[in-house]
Structures are given as C-alpha cells and as structure tokens.
Structure 1
Amino acid sequence: MRIISGTFKGRRINAPKKLPVRPTTDMAKEALFNILNNSFYFDELSVLDLFAGTGNISYEFASRGTQNIICVDENYGCIKFINETAEAFKMPISTIKSDVFKFLESSTSNYDIIFADPPYDFYMEDFSKIPELVFKNELLDLNGLLIVEHSKHTDLSQLANFSYSKSYGGNMFSFFENN
C-alpha cells in the first residue's frame, strides 16, 4: 500500500501479512479523497477512522495535513502497526483498541469525518448500527460526513441519514449526513 498524495506522497507502507485486513485500493482511495478535497480543508478536520485496520485511510489524512486523527480497531496487531507507522512518520494519529460499537456507544467527541471500513461480510444489522450510533450519539459535526466502505453487493441506501454512494471497482462508499 502507498500514500497517494500530500507530504508523504509515494511512501510505501508494508503491513504484516498476518493482520486480518483488506486495505482500501489506491484507485478507490484516490477517488474518495478527490470527493473530500472539494468539500473540506484537511488541516481543519477532526477524523475518526473506525475498523482502522492498517491505518491506510488515516495516513492519507495525515499526509494532507489533518492534525486530529483517531483510529479505532479491536485487533491489537492493527493498533500496534498503526502506532509504529505513525511514530515512524511523525503523524498525529492516536489509537484506541476497542470494539467499534462499544466505542461509538460511549464516545462523546465530535468529528468532521467519520470513516468506517467494516468487514465486507457484515450482516445488514451490523452495517445499520454504524450510522444509527453515530447520529443517535451526535458524533458527527453539523456539516460532517460519515463514510462507510463496503462491497458493491451491499446496499445501504435505505439506512437513515443516507445521502449518496459511489462505486469504484468492487468497492463502494456510502455517504451519510445530518438531515
């Protein structure tokens, strides 16, 4: 995996093969950040990266100047890898080892962007809990965006606060906003 833009553009990051992850492809990541670039100033954002895995998305935000990034994952190996990578590149990324749903239930912070990349084989009820908890607990700033990455075979358009989706290869991003 590589960082596609910003201060660390072109840097390769090699995650251990034993991590239970599926990093977002470069093509999908580039398309996502093109969308975000039209709506946000990266250096002003607070970002929450759920099911963070390798930290791939967080590194992109940090490379573009975001100073407030929190990664949540329940896998110790993933958290350790993100911490090591963030330290090596001196990136402003904090990590929390936690079940994502428990974190969302107890969090009281607000974020401009919440990115969630849960396992593609989640049941619909698990996918639906993400926006449900984010909006019920008011974790998203007024003009913020919740982005859920999922397979193109999963349709999240019927969930509350759904705004639109974009497909890139086998990846799909569904965007949710405050109504």
Structure 2
Amino acid sequence: MRIISGQYKSRKIVAPKNLPVRPTTDMAKESLFNILNNNYYFDDISVLDLFAGTGNISYEFASRGTEQITCVDQHFACIRFINQTAEHFEMPIDTVKGDVFKFLEQTNAKFDIIFADPPYDFSQEQFERIPELVFKKELLNDSGTLIVEHSKHTNLASTANFDVSKSYGGNAFSFFKKQ
C-alpha cells in the first residue's frame, strides 16, 4: 500500500503477511479522499478509524495534516503494526485494541469523520449496527460524516441517516450524515 498525498506522498508501507486484513485499494482510497478534500480541511478535523486493520486510511489522514486520529481494531498484531508505523513516521495516531461495537457503546468522544471498514462478510445487521450506534451515541460533530466501506453487493441505502453511496470496482462507500 502507498500513501497517495500529503507530507508522506508516495511512501510505501508494507504490512506483515499474517495480518487478518483487506486494505482499501489505492483507487478507492484516492476517490474517497477526493470527495473528502472538497468538504473538509484535514488539519482541522478529528478522525475515528474503525476496524483499522493496517491503518491505511489513518496514514492518509495523517499525511494530509490531521492531528487527531484514533484507530480501533481487535487484533493485537494490527494495533502493534499501526503503532510501529505511526512512530516511524511520527504520525499523531492513537490506538485502541478492542471490539469496535463495545468501543462505540462506551466512548463519549465526538469526531468529524468516522471511517469503518468492517469485514465484507458481515451480516446486513452487523453493517447496520455501525450507523445505529454512531447516531444513537451522537459521536459525530454537527457537520460530521460516517463512512462505511463495504462490498458493492451490500446495500445500506435503507439505513437511517444514509446520504449517498459511491462504488469503485468491487468496493463501495456509504456516507451517513445527521438528518
């Protein structure tokens, strides 16, 4: 994987082979950040990266100047890799090792962007639980956005607070906003 833009543009990050992850493709990531770039000043926002995996999305935010980034993943090896990479590049990334759903139920922090990249084999109910918890707990700032990455075969359009979905190859991003 590589960082597309910002301070660390074109830097390659090689994750260990044994991580249980499916990193967002460069094409999908570039498209996502083109959308976000039109709506946010990256150095002014706070980001929560759920199911963070390799930290791919968080590194992109950090490279673009975001100073408040929190990654949550349940796998120790993923958290260790994110911590090592963030330290190597001196990126302002905090990590939490734990279950994403428990984290969402327990946190009171608010974010401008919440990005969730759960396993594509999640059930419809598991996918829908993410926006349900985010909006029930009011975890987004007023102009905040929840983005859920999923297979193009998953449809979240009938989920509360759904705004729009964008597809790139086999990936899709569903955007949710306060109504």
TM-score, with structure 2 as normaliser? 1.00
Q: Deviations over 1:110-148 (max 9, x none)?
A: 000000000000001100110000000000011100000
Work out whether 1:54 is the aligned partner of 2:54.
Answer: yes
User: Could you tell me how far 1:155 is from its partner in structure 2?
Assistant: 0.3
Report 1:71-90 matches (<5 A): 71-90=71-90
Following the alignment from structure 1 to structure 2, what is the Cα–Cα distance between the partners of residues 19 and 26? 18
User: Could you tell me how far 1:40 is from its partner in structure 2?
Assistant: 0.2
Q: Deviations over 1:85-106 (max 9, x none)?
A: 0000000000000100000000
User: Could you tell me how far 1:7 is from its partner in structure 2?
Assistant: 0.2
RMSD: 0.3
Q: Secondary structure at the match of 2:143?
A: strand
Q: Deviations over 1:1-34 (max 9, x none)?
A: 0000000000000000000000000000000000
Aligned to 2:15: 15
Aligned to 1:144: 144
Tell me the matched-pair count: 179
5+ residue gaps, structure 2: none
Aligned to 1:69: 69
Q: Secondary structure at the match of 2:95?
A: strand
Aligned to 2:118: 118
User: Could you tell me how far 1:177 is from its partner in structure 2?
Assistant: 0.1
5+ residue gaps, structure 1: none
Q: Secondary structure at the match of 1:115?
A: strand
User: Could you tell me how far 1:54 is from its partner in structure 2?
Assistant: 0.1
Following the alignment from structure 1 to structure 2, what is the Cα–Cα distance between the partners of residues 169 and 128? 22
Work out whether 1:167 is the aligned partner of 2:146.
Answer: no
Q: Which runs of 4+ in 1 moved over 3 A?
A: none
Following the alignment from structure 1 to structure 2, what is the Cα–Cα distance between the partners of residues 53 and 169? 20
Q: Secondary structure at the match of 1:16?
A: coil
User: Could you tell me how far 1:47 is from its partner in structure 2?
Assistant: 0.1
Q: Secondary structure at the match of 1:43?
A: helix
Letter of the 2:95 partner, please give it: T
